[in-house]
Structure formats: structure tokens, C-alpha cells
Structure 1
Amino acid sequence: MKHKISIMLLLFLMIFSSHSSSLASSEDQPNLMSEAAILIDANSGKVIFGKNAKRQMYPASITKMVTGILAIEEGDLTDIVRVSKEATKVDGTRVYLLEEEEVKLKRLVQGLLVNSGNDAGTAIAEHLADSESAFATKMNNFVKEEVGVTDSNFTNPHGLYDENHYTTAYDMAKIAQYAIENESFKKIVGTKELEWNGEGWETTLYNHHRLLWDYEGVTGIKNGYVLQSGFTLATSAEREGVELIAVTLNAPSSQDAYRDTTKLLDYGFGNFSTEEFSAGQTFEDNEGNQYQLESQTYVTVPKNSTTTTNIFDDALVIRNEDGTVIFEEELSPVNDFEKPLKERVEDFVALDDKVEPWPPNLGIRNWINQEVNK
């Protein structure tokens, strides 16, 4: 969803690039150990809180969000993938694939996102693009063209360290927002446990994202760690009609990453709500002109705060009680020809009353009255 954002909002969104920012007062902001973090409303895309959210960082295994959604959207999950020798030799966490083993693409995506299998990531990359480097090109094109983020560069499908493999908390939140709109992706990242019956490994996989068990409403997504990145975590959660996405980067420990994420989610659910406006919903300005929204729209608003809604310069403008613009969306005028005939005729009669009478022999007013009364 793309919104027309005012200059004021644009400047607001940019100030969190070097320090903490929030929609609420500074004393309410969570104090985090992670070097960079962000919290957004998954429906509206609104940035609720940010700390160094545009700072270039190493993502580690939350990279796999990109690999997973790319495999789901551009691959065929029923495909049979033959595992290469190179895939079996990838460092780090694995699902212990064997050379020449044949596995469904869907199974590899599950092993990638539930158990963080680096070997599954390489097998997916080679299946879709013949090599990790060629797949990385697809990843970069995908996040720019489909998701719309521009401050990331990926060199591999799994997140193992490379100095040219980087992202930002903001970019990762937008990638997560895009990915969870896909029901297959959302179901996989929310899988707590999965029976794995591979040729080289038979076990029960338990999702590495511990908040699936420990925080009410968490629905996924992915954790990560390499030495150069510290502990990274991307999380989605839903409560009472509000859906949030939190990303933390370079936490000193996994416990710090989970604590920071818990603070962010508590802050979001405790202080904000989401209002929905349906496509085609109409609004009227002070002069009686009617306008409508072209598409379904979500707005993030502070709880326990009075907001005002006005039509200004053909746009829906919502302001906080202190006058701050929190949302602006261009509207489309409701054309007269879309009105029922009776309403159009009544408008015509009202206009006729303001001008000189029609000649008696024309009989137009009699015809109008007949049409109105049908």
C-alpha cells in the first residue's frame, strides 16, 4: 500500500536514522541493549519506534526471510530439488542434507525458516538460480523492486558473514511486513515444531524463535547470529486487531534480543491501536463536497488520545490532539454521475431555484418534479 505522505511526515520518518524516535513521549520509550531496532505497525507500515533504524548492519540468519519468501513466490513448492555437494558443506546450522538427496522445495523452505538450515538455503539458491551469487542478484532485485527497500545488499541466501552482506532494521521490518502477507510464509515461520525425516537426519525440529512460546500473540519470524552481527531477531505479533513487527540488530546476547523485542511489543500494544478505513469509504468537507478512498487504508493512532479527521486540499488528514499530522491520504472526488438519478435531479432543481424561472411553455420544472417523485 502506498500513501501520499506529507513533507512533515517524511522528515519525521528520517530522524530515527541516527537516534531513537517514537510516536509517544520520550519518557515512555523502551530502553534497549540492541544497537539498532525498529517497531512498525504491520498493517499501516507506520514506524512506531526506531533506534538507529537506518544504520547499516549485518543481518545474520534473518537474511533467510528474503530467501524464504523469494522461494515461495518465484518457485514451485512442489518441485523436487536435488542437493549438491556444495550445499552439504555449508558452515553453520544445518538440516544435514546429503549429496544427491532429493527434497521438495517446500521442505527446504521449512528447514530454512524453522531450523535455520544453511544447507537448505544453498540448495534453494542453486535450484532457483544455479548458484549462490546468481541467487543473491535475484534477492537484491526482489527487495528493491517488490518490497521497495534500498539500503540492503545480500551476497548469499543464509546470512553467513560477508562484509558486503548488510541491511538495516528498517529494511528488514519492511521485508517482514511484505513476507507475512503471504499465507504460506506466515504459516511456516509460525510452525513451532516439525517432524523431519530426511535421508541424513530424522528428528523433530523446534522453531529457533523462542518468543513463539514465551510471548502471547507472537506469530514468527526469524532469529540469527554470527560473530560480526551479534544477535539479530525479527518478530511478528498480533493482539486485538493490532499486528506489529519488531526487528533488533546486534544485541549482546540472545536474551537481550528477546528482552528488547518484548519491550518493543509491550510498548506497541500498550500505546497504539490501528484504525481501518475501507475502500470506497466516503468523506465530506465543510462545503458538502464528497470524496472517497481508493483502497483499504490502515492508520496507527496513539491510545488514550483524541484525534481529528478533516478534508483538506482533496486529502484525508488525521491530526493528534496536539495538532501533529499523523496521517494524510489523497482522496478522489465523488463524481455527480455516480449519484442516483433522484439525487442528481434534486441538485438540478436546487440550482434552478437560484436562476431566473424557466419559460412556462418549456414545462421543464413539471418534468423534473415528475422524475423526482418516481
Structure 2
Amino acid sequence: MRVNVKYSPFIFFTILLLIAAPLHTIKAAGNKPSIQSEAAVLVDAQSGQVLYEKNSEQKMYPASITKIATAIYAIENGNLSDMVTISEKARNVEGTRVYLEEGEQVPLKKLVQGLMINSGNDAGVAIAEHLSGSIKEFSKDLNAYLAEETGIQDTTFQNPHGLYNEMHMTTAKDMAKITRYAMENETFRDIFKTTKLKWQGESWDTTIFNHHKLVRNHSYKGITGGKNGFVDQAGFTLVTSASRENLNLIVVTMNAPTDQATYSDTTSLLDYGFASFETGKIKEGTIFEDSQNHEYTLDEPLYYTKRIGEEVNPAVSPSGELTLRNDEEELIASKHLEPNQQAIAQQKMLSKSAEESRQPSLLEGHLKLLILLSFGIFSIVAGYFFLQIRKL
């Protein structure tokens, strides 16, 4: 599809429908919710755009929402069928547990499930020791992995479970990025949304239930997963994902004063997001033209978020930078485009063909010049001989 952004900005709007545009914060019509949590962020999971934020870059203690990072690291860097031997350290960790016993053999996937569904700190230690040998080495590996895969810069995890450590900190925005990345993994998504799981261990046969109330009770339409957390120093923390129609949202709340407040904040932000925004999509392969008729091609789908019913206007700079702005000139999304190689190749072929077509004309011109010169020389010689004959 070809879009001339100089003459037809409204053609662009006809291709709207739904990951990976640069992050921009956009405003929405209507009143923003009143949030009790000290920090919060609402993000479109597909575009990555921030739709609401409050102290979203403030470093805070995350508590058990740390386990989202541990889970996706284990899924992507471990073999989920591996049998893990439980250590004494894992057995004796404080806080919420799935009651693993020292020497017990447990599949890695089951540990990830116990970590996420029942918030098992013992499962977290067992995962860390299995993958990196120790909690200290696991923390180094985890932080390096998160920085590389998600681009976060304000997170310094010191353990796999979120128990208090003075240096164990992150931000609401970083947690949203980590969750957004994790949600691209099908195995993680399945565990993240699991309501309950039958658990059979050496010392504990039971059914474990997801500690996230909206996941466990299906009390909010469209919930697709979540993880809660609490330690005294962190207050109540919560990460939640939800989806309706083509809009997928992630909410992170941190240091809420009460358990009720963190759920109230979360549902208010989800209500606000679903009532105010929609996700758009530009298809891969769409061709754009700048004001000088240079062509650029979108090499992957571009998702962006806009207010419901809002028109979006594209513009392409001579350097190939595509920007999407609304009627208020807010920058919604941007992406660098590559020149259209097919158009460049066609232009080269046309230039070559034109050059070749000019060659006969040049030869014809040279031939005409040669004929004229020959005729001139012949005329001079003939005239000379004519004069000589007259002298005789």
C-alpha cells in the first residue's frame, strides 16, 4: 500500500487496525482516575505507549511482583523439563512457600508455576540456584538479561522473590516493560492467567489458588493475568493485564496503603484505559512518500494507541523518520523507515534504460559530424583541383 503523506493524510486513517513503536505518553479526554498508590502506570501492551503515569520512574521496592521477572527468565533460559533438587536454603526461606522439602526433585516448570500462582519464595530460591548456582549470581544474570531484552535502566533485583533488600528496587514503568516483554511468551501467559493448580509434593498435597484476586475470582471483564506482592517496606504492589477487543492493557501499582486500594486503583485505571483509548495498526509493507516523492517502506507492523475516534496524521521526514501526530500535534508514535529498495532498483533500471536510449543519438550525432567534416574536406580538395585546372 502506498501513502503520500503530503497530499493524502486521510488515506492513512483507512489502514488503521493494531508492537513496537517508541514509547510516548498521550493524553485522554475526560477525568483521569484518582490513585491512592504512591506510583502507578497504565500501558498499552501492543504499542508500549504510556496512557497514565504517576511517579512511574520513582525507584521503589517491588515485593513479589519481582517473580514476573524470575519466571520469564526461567522460561527463556532454562529447560522446563529439568528436575531441580531442592536445597536446604530453599527449604528454609521465609515468607510464602509451596512447602518444598530438602532433597525433593521438582520439574522446573512446576517451580515456575508455584512461584507465580502461590507466590512460593522457596520455588524462587530453587530456580535461582538451579539456573545460576546461587542467589547472588542469579541476580546478576537476571539484571543483565532484563536490561538486554527489555531496555530497563532503573531496576536492581537482588533476589528472585522480592523479599526486602535495601538495594532490591525497580520502578512502575520498568515493571510494565518487563511484563509487556513476558506477555509475548505463550508459556508465561498460560501461567500468568492460571486460576488454580493441583499441587502434589512430598509434604504438601493441595490445590493452590492464584493470589491475585481479579485473576482468581474473574471479577473484572477481560483479565488475562496478574501478580500481587506485599512486604512492609514495599506496601501493596500489583501487576495486572487485561484485554478487550483489540486493546491490551497492563497496569502496575506500587506502594498502595491497603490491599483494597491497590485493586481499586487497578480497576480504575483499566476502566479509564478501555473507555478512552484504542489501538491502531499500520500493516507491514506499507509504502510512504515524503514531500519530495521519495518512497519508504514499513518493514514490520507498527502499533500505536490513540484516543477513541481520534484522527492520526502521518509525516515522513527526508531522513525517513515517520511520525504520527493527532490534531493537537501530540506525538503519538514514531519509527525510522528504510528507503523503498524496489523503487530504488526501478529508478536505477529506468536511468540505465534512458542512458542506453541516449547512446544511438550520440552515435548519430557523431556520424553526422563526420559526414559534414568529410564533405567539407572533399569540397576543399575539389576546389583546389578546380583552381589548378583553370590555371592550365
Match of 2:141 among 138, 142, 148: 138
In 2, the alpha carbon distance for the partners of 1:358 and 1:241 equals 61
Preserved contact between residue 81 and residue 103 of structure 1 (Cα < 8 Å): yes
Kept after mapping to 2: 8 A contact 1:68/1:185: yes
* CA apart distance, 1:4: 6.3
Q: Find out whether 1:324 has 2:327 as its counterpart.
A: no
Indicate the SS of the match to 1:63. helix
Q: Which of 159, 163, 166 is 2:162 aligned to?
A: 159
Residues of 2 paired with 1:253 and 1:247: CA distance? Answer: 15
Which of 12, 24, 27 is 1:23 aligned to? 27
Point out the more displaced range, 98-107 or 314-323: 314-323
Determine which structure has greater relative contact order: mean sequence separation of CA pairs < 8 Å that are 6+ residues apart, divided by chain length: 2
1:284 CA displacement: 2.3
Q: How does 1:1-40 map to 2 (within 5 A)?
A: 3=21, 23-25=27-29, 28-40=31-43
Matched, 1:300 2:305: yes
- Does the CA-based 8 Å contact 1:4-1:330 persist in structure 2? no
Unpaired runs of at least 5, structure 1: 14-21, 363-374
1:279 aligns with 2:253: no
Q: Deviations over 1:258-309 (max 9, x none)?
A: 1101111111111111111222221223443321112222111111222212
Q: Which has the higher mean CA deviation after the structures are superposed, 301-310 or 88-97?
A: 301-310
- What residue in structure 1 maps to residue 390 of structure 2? none
What is the rounded CA distance, in whole Å, between the counterparts of 1:347 and 1:262 in structure 2?
63
* SS at structure 2 position matched to 1:263: helix
Q: Distance in 2 between matches of 1:34 and 1:177?
A: 21
For 2:4, the equivalent position in structure 1 comes to none
Match of 1:97 among 70, 81, 100: 100
Residues 83 and 336 (structure 1 numbering): CA distance in 2 closer, same or farther, change over 3 Å? closer
Q: Is 2:20–2:47's contact at 8 Å kept on the other side of the alignment?
A: no
Contact 1:56 1:166 in 2 (8 A): yes
Q: CA separation of 1:221/1:201 partners in 2, compared to 1, >3 Å: closer, same or farther?
A: same
Distance 1:141 1:217 in 2: 33
1:309 aligned residue: 314
Which moves more between the two structures, 132-141 or 160-169? Answer: 132-141
Equivalent runs, 1:27-66 vs 2, <5 Å: 28-66=31-69
**CA 1:266/1:344 → structure 2, altered by over 3 Å: closer, same or farther?**
farther
Alignment of 1:333 with 2:339, yes or no, is yes
1:336 Cα deviation (Å)?
5.0
**SS of equivalent residue, structure 1 residue 214:** coil
Alpha-carbon distance in structure 1 between the residues aligned to 2:247 and 2:352 = 42
Aligned to 2:203: 200
Q: Is the 8 A contact 2:115 2:124 kept in 1?
A: yes
CA contact 1:136–1:154 (8 Å) conserved in 2:
yes
Is the Cα–Cα contact under 8 Å of residues 84 and 130 in structure 2 kept in the other structure?
A: yes
Q: How does 1:241-256 map to 2 (within 5 A)?
A: 241-256=246-261
Identity, % of aligned positions: 46
Shift, 1:359, TM fit: 6.7
CA RMSD of aligned residues (A): 2.6
Structure 2 counterpart of 1:23, one-letter code: K
**Counterpart for residue 366 of structure 1:** none
Alignment: residue pair count? 344
For 1:335 and 1:122, locate their aligned partners in 2 and report how far apart those are by CA, in whole Å.
51
Match of 1:127 in 2: 130
Once the two structures are superposed, residues 291-342 of structure 1 have per-residue CA deviations (whole angstroms, 9 ceiling, x without a partner) of 111222211111122221222332222111112222221111213566679x
Q: Distance in 2 between matches of 1:223 and 1:115?
A: 10
| Equivalent position of 1:263 in the other structure | 268
Change (3 A) 1:336 1:219: closer
Q: Is the 8 A contact 1:108 1:124 kept in 2?
A: yes
Residues 113-136 of structure 1: CA distance to partner in whole angstroms, max 9, x if unpaired? 011001100111111112111111
Distance 1:134 1:360, change over 3 A: closer
Paired residue for 2:185, among 168, 182, 186? 182
Q: Tell which deviates more after alignment, 325-334 or 304-313.
A: 304-313
